[in-house]
Structures are given as C-alpha cells and as structure tokens.
Amino acid sequence: MSTPDSPKTDLAVEIRSLTKRYALPWKRKVLVAVDQLNLTVRRGEVFGLLGPNGSGKSTTLKMLLSLIKPSEGEAWIFGQPVDTIEARRTVGFLPENPYFYKFLNGDETLRFYGGLAGMQGIALDNKIEELIKLVGLENGRDRPLSAYSKGMLQRIGLAQALIHDPELLFLDEPTAGVDPIGSREIRDLIVRLRDMGKTVVFSSHLLEQVQEVADRVAIMSLGKKMVEGSLNDLLTVQDRTQFIAQDLSPAAQEEVRQLIEQRGGRNVSVSSPKLSLEQLFLKTVEYERAAQKPGVAKPTNER
C-alpha cells in the first residue's frame, strides 16, 4: 500500500522536484534545463508535454528514461524508480531525432530492435507483422530506410518503440516534420494506442494537434511547469455559453439575441463557426485524393 510519501503504482509517471542543471564552463554559468518539476501521469491517459523550444521537454523525457541523471529530485514509472530494470521494461521511446541504420529495411529494423529486447522466433515474427500493420507500413517493409519519407521514418520509429509491448510510451515530437496527413495518421495511432490500454506521454509545440488527442497537458517554460490539468478544465471559459444552430434566419438570430439580453446575458455575439486551417487543408487534400476514385462528392465547408 502506498503512504503519502511513497509513489503510487496507479500512476504511470510520478515526478517530484525533478531538476537538471548543466554547467556551462565557457559561459561560467549553470543552465537550469528542468527546474523543480512535479508531474503525474495516470495509467491509460494521453498526456501532452508542451512548451516552446528549449523549455525542457526532451530533458524531462530523457530523465524519465534514465538516459540522463537528474541533478535533484526523483521520478517513478508505475511505482518503480526510473533507473530500475523493472521501470525500463515497461517503457517504449520514440526519440526526437531517431537514428536508424539506413541500409536496413522496415522488417529488418524491427527485427533488430526486437532482438535487442530479447525477442526471437515466432513471437518476434508475429509482433513485426502486427506492428507493420498497426503503423501502416506495408508498402515500406521491404524498402531500405534510406528511401523512407520523414512520415515513414516516424512510423517505423513508433513501431520500434512498441516492439516489446510496453505499457507506457514516451514520444518526443512524434509529428515533427510530418505533413498534415501523416501527422493526422500518427495522432489516430496515438488514440488507438490509448484504446489498447497504453499510456502515452508525448511532447510537442503544435498546440492544435495536442488539443486533439491529449486528455491532460502540462505547459513548460524555461524548465518550469506553468500549468497542468485536463484540457477540458483548462480550456473551458466558465462564464461563457455558446449555441450553434443551422439555418437560422437573420430575423430569428436577432430575436434570440434580444431574448438572451432580456435574460441577463451580456456581450452577446453572433457569428458562424470557423474551420481551422488544418481542417480545411485535410478536407481539400483528402478530396483531391478521393477524387481519383469515382462517386466521391466534393466536400462543403461544414464541420
């Protein structure tokens, strides 16, 4: 049983006062990359770690993977200290700039990483089949990675992170440099991983993308956590109400506005909802792709 001072095993990640300082001797100063960070990630959630360049996201993930040693503080994964074999066994990692052997093809890459994780034989063969399908790389499995696009490299990176069936995934900028369609596919994959019961922690500064998939987020700035919470709580403007209606005439709109004002509503505004640029892009490009097939209707700009 956990006491207030011991880590709780129902938490996928627990971080207490985690700090990383780098000495910069040539500048005669110390850079605090992560500063007294406290954070929890619950089992089964998708957690977005946000922040501008240099805010400490990758450093935090590297400390959770025990790739670098904290200057101060502690962290646990499913209740185990991060530097234990038990903690590492449950974790998969997609680094910010994954380095792969470019002469290996997709299958061989997964076989290589599976071997490193101690897998072999039919179990490994089956896992490779499953992952190639999961990340949609059927057309890349026989091609060397030197011929992969950025989106394909991120997908093989994701498959590599999943090879030993980890419960928790750390993805550092999984959609960086990937076009909106590839990026949507990666986000769909993150949602599918959550549906499979995995916990996913990913870093990004593409806010709209995070908003689409994350249950909870933390925003970092200069190594410090500024906010943490569920997206729903953080983004709901508590004192506003929004109605959306289709086919309401201007006269009816005016009537509704007057009624709201009579009932005490202030600062009433009436407007049409807007698509995000990304939604417009995806709609347009998906239509162009789908138009190759007969019988596809042109999209309207409805949501």
Ligand X SMILES: Nc1ncnc2c1ncn2[C@@H]1O[C@H](COP(=O)(O)OP(=O)(O)OP(=O)(O)O)[C@@H](O)[C@H]1O
Binding site for Mg ion (CB under 5 A): 57-58, 96
d(CA 47, CA 213): 9
Q: Are the beta carbons of 218 and 39 closer than 8 angstroms?
A: yes
**Among the listed residues 12, 13, 46, 58, the single contact to ligand X using CB under 6 A:** 58
For ligand X, give the closer residue by CB, 58 or 183.
Answer: 58
Interaction mask 210-239, ligand X, x per CB under 6 A: ------------------------------
CA 112 to each of CA 2, 99, 123, 180, 222: distance values in angstroms, whole numbers, following the listed order: 39, 13, 14, 30, 37
For Mg ion, give the closer residue by CB, 96 or 215.
Answer: 96
Please report whether residue 198 would count as binding ligand X according to CB under 6 A. no
- Binding residues for ligand X, how many (CB under 6 A)? 13
Site for ligand X in 110-129 (CB under 6 A): none
Minimal distance, residue 50 CB to ligand X, in Å: 9
Q: What is the DSSP letter of 82?
A: T
Place of tokens 């790389």: 137
Minimal distance, residue 59 CB to Mg ion, in Å: 8
For Mg ion, give the closer residue by CB, 94 or 190.
Answer: 94
Q: Among 208, 160, 170, which Cα is nearest to 190's?
A: 170
For ligand X, give the closer residue by CB, 51 or 140.
Answer: 51
- Burial state string for 186-201 with b = 16 or more CB within 10 A and e = fewer than 16: bbebbeebbeeebbbb
Minimal distance, residue 173 CB to ligand X, in Å: 6
Minimal distance, residue 60 CB to Mg ion, in Å: 9
Q: Are the beta carbons of 144 and 104 closer than 8 angstroms?
A: yes
Q: Are the beta carbons of 187 and 27 closer than 8 angstroms?
A: no
Structure tokens, 83: 């530097």
Question: Where along the sequence are the contacts to ligand X (CB under 6 A)?
Answer: 22, 31, 33, 51, 53-59, 96, 205
